[in-house]
């Protein structure tokens, strides 16, 4: 079940990054201020790219899983 969980994590992480990035673009440079609640969200969602497998590794794992089923 590992490839499927990796795919879910990848989709959720990428969606979260898009949402936080859009919010930060709306707020502007102030969004990077330590007092702004968006700043820790930015760090948390960006960390999702580096915890566990990254996108390229997840895609490679999914491809290997599909090939091995044939």
Over the stretch 5-41, which tens digit does the pLDDT of each residue have? Answer: 888 888 998 999 999 999 999 999 999 899 998 899 9
- The vertex-39 CA angle with 34 and 56, nearest 5°, equals 145
CA 68 to chain centre: 27
Please give the Cα distance from 64 to 56 (Å, whole number). Answer: 12
| Cβ-based neighbour number of residue 1 at 10 Å | 6
Residue 4 has pLDDT above 90, yes or no: no
Tokens representing residue 41 in the block: 């969200």
Query: The dihedral of CA 33, 13, 56, 24: what is its sign?
Result: negative
């Amino acid at each position: 079940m590992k490839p499927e969980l990796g795919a879910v994590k990848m989709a959720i992480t990428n969606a979260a990054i898009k949402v936080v990035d859009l919010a930060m673009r709306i707020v502007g440079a102030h969004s990077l201020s330590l007092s702004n609640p968006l700043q820790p969200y930015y760090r948390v969602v960006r960390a999702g790219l580096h915890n566990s497998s990254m996108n390229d590794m997840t895609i490679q794992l999914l491809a290997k899983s599909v090939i091995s089923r044939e």
